[in-house]
Chain A
């Protein structure tokens, strides 16, 4: 009730001011009027007594004189009456019991001056007796004496005080009434506001999720309180409706956005799961050194690659780039990729046949007029011969006997542009050690800060530089070089690359060490001895062996410690192979699913006190190895580690 307190103070000031002003004014006018009334009254009484008492006085009939003056004391305001003779001697008076000394002093002057003409009026302050209007009237011009009448000024004061007191009481009564009225009025205004304020506070805590829960007293306010308060309540109620609508809209939008985002993520995952990502894809085919990589520019992209054996002898492979980006491109990519798999087979085993068929499938009902550039090849793994068809795709590079050159295009149009187009074949023969490099324009048209392209010539020069490296390393060097070229400029298009190396039909298989380990820590020492022998036999450098030993130590002890919830024995398979450049280690365990690639990065910058004990093993493995791959195969964790000799 802060409003009421303010009102109260206001009323108080108003009444106090008015009361004081009225009292002062009325006291003054009352004083003036009563004074003059008393004065004329006193004069009239004095004159009257003087006129009527000449005889009595001349006859010295003092008793009568006393009787006359006594009756005047009954008149309101008359304090005293006394009569003095010509000698100034008081002959009759109304004082009880004797004439006070102060009064004698008033008489004396008249005695010495003898006769006096007319009335004299003075104010007398007689100390303890009080203040008086003293009127003297001469009897027979003073010859017979004087009549003195005293009008009591104290009576006037008393009158004034009584009046003022009455007024103040009246004011007080009015004040109390005014306060009462103000209290009721303020309450009527404040109560709904207080209720609205409380309601607003409860609103701020509300999430606007459930239905509206406006209290009835608020709902009825607009009807009960017309005017500003009602309007305010009305605004509140409609505000809550709008807020709730807004919040529910916002939630819908956010949910929709989240759904789209998570769907895009899922789409990306599905898309990525559509292309083969585990390399080497055919470990038993020693004649092949096949590797590929796809780095999406956005969540979902339009690039793809694929490969599969049409029969025991022929490998079909392809790379493609759908026009446009984002969701539409990715949908079209999925379509093309699926059709590509479905098209090739023993009855349609040429690149030309596959692309012709694929083109017809895509061109039919191609309402969105999207198209795909694609390069498709079929490798005869016995001869190294490749029959290929290029549907508007970037001409690949081929590395023959260490020389990089561009593979001339077949001059054919992209898939989806023209139905029943007659695609043409090209052919090429890979000798052992040769490589075919397929890529999309995400590489050659990667831009740097100066808006210049990475370009075919830079790619060609790089391929020449890394000639002789494994397919996997060719791709790694290319991706690194593109990154270096871009200098942080965001990737604007998918980057896709597929490198097919041919090792010849009679390629020897790589030296391999396959060990079955039990889930016991001591088994590791057995593996270490075997690894040491294997490394020594095939000339694997000591430092590489050390990193392999440490990484497997971390991986295996982790599996032994955390992988199994039962107490029974398990078998962990470790397969190590060495191709002269690189060691590939596969670890298969049937423990709990665990992807070390998703383990949080250890913070090696922390001080001794902050360092958590543990969590370093995975960090060591990540650093010690060049590459880690993980997949879960039904009930088995498959972890692939790769590393080669390091210079430092």
Chain B
């Protein structure tokens, strides 16, 4: 699991490469909530190289989305792989989160 951060203007782009499973979900949660406590409230999650996510990973994403909503920030998720897209569809996450196809589209939303 590799997590990299890039600043694009006022937006923090987070690339999550690998798999978010029961073990790695804790790392992802620590990294993302760390950003939130640093005052980041505009975030793009790039899932281009994310091949796997389970319900615990979804929980982390949901926590981040809810906290950003509370501080009137914004979360955009882009470039979902097919398996992750399927999980998002089954759980209804595609409907409640901002999911777009490319990182450019995600950045254009801010």
Q: What residues of chain A have their CB less than 8 Å away from a CB belonging to chain B? A: 521-522, 524-525, 543, 546, 549-550, 553-554, 557, 560, 602, 604-609, 611, 613-614, 616-617, 619-620, 623-624
Contacts and interface: CB of A to CB of B under 8 A. Distances in A.
A608 B90 contact: no
Interface in B26-70: 52, 54-56, 58-59, 62-63, 65-66, 69
Chain B binding surface SS class? helix
Contacts of A525: 21, 23
Contacts of A605: 92, 95
A89 to B, nearest CB: 121
A609 B70 CA distance: 10
B30 to A, nearest CB: 16
A562 to B, nearest CB: 13
B83 interface: yes
B90 A623 contact: yes
B105 interface: no
Nearest to B90: A623
B54 A608 contact: no
Contacts of B63: 613
A572 to B, nearest CB: 14
Interface of B: 21-23, 52, 54-56, 58-59, 62-63, 65-66, 69, 82-83, 87, 90-92, 95-97
B54 A620 contact: yes
A607 B22 contact: no
Contact of A543 (B83, B90, B96): B83
B54 A554 contact: yes
Contacts, number: 69
Nearest to B53: A550
A149 B59 CA distance: 124
B69 A553 contact: no
A557 B56 contact: yes
B70 to A, nearest CB: 10
B55 A554 contact: yes
Contact of B69 (A543, A609, A620): A609
Given A543-B83, A605-B92, A624-B90, A521 B23 contact: yes
A549 B54 CA distance: 10
Given A604-B95, A624-B90, 7 more contacts: A521-B23, A550-B52, A550-B54, A557-B56, A606-B92, A608-B69, A620-B55
Given A616-B58, A617-B54, A604 B23 contact: no
B96 A557 contact: no
B59 A613 contact: yes
A474 to B, nearest CB: 28
B55 A616 contact: yes
Contacts of A623: 90
Nearest to A619: B91
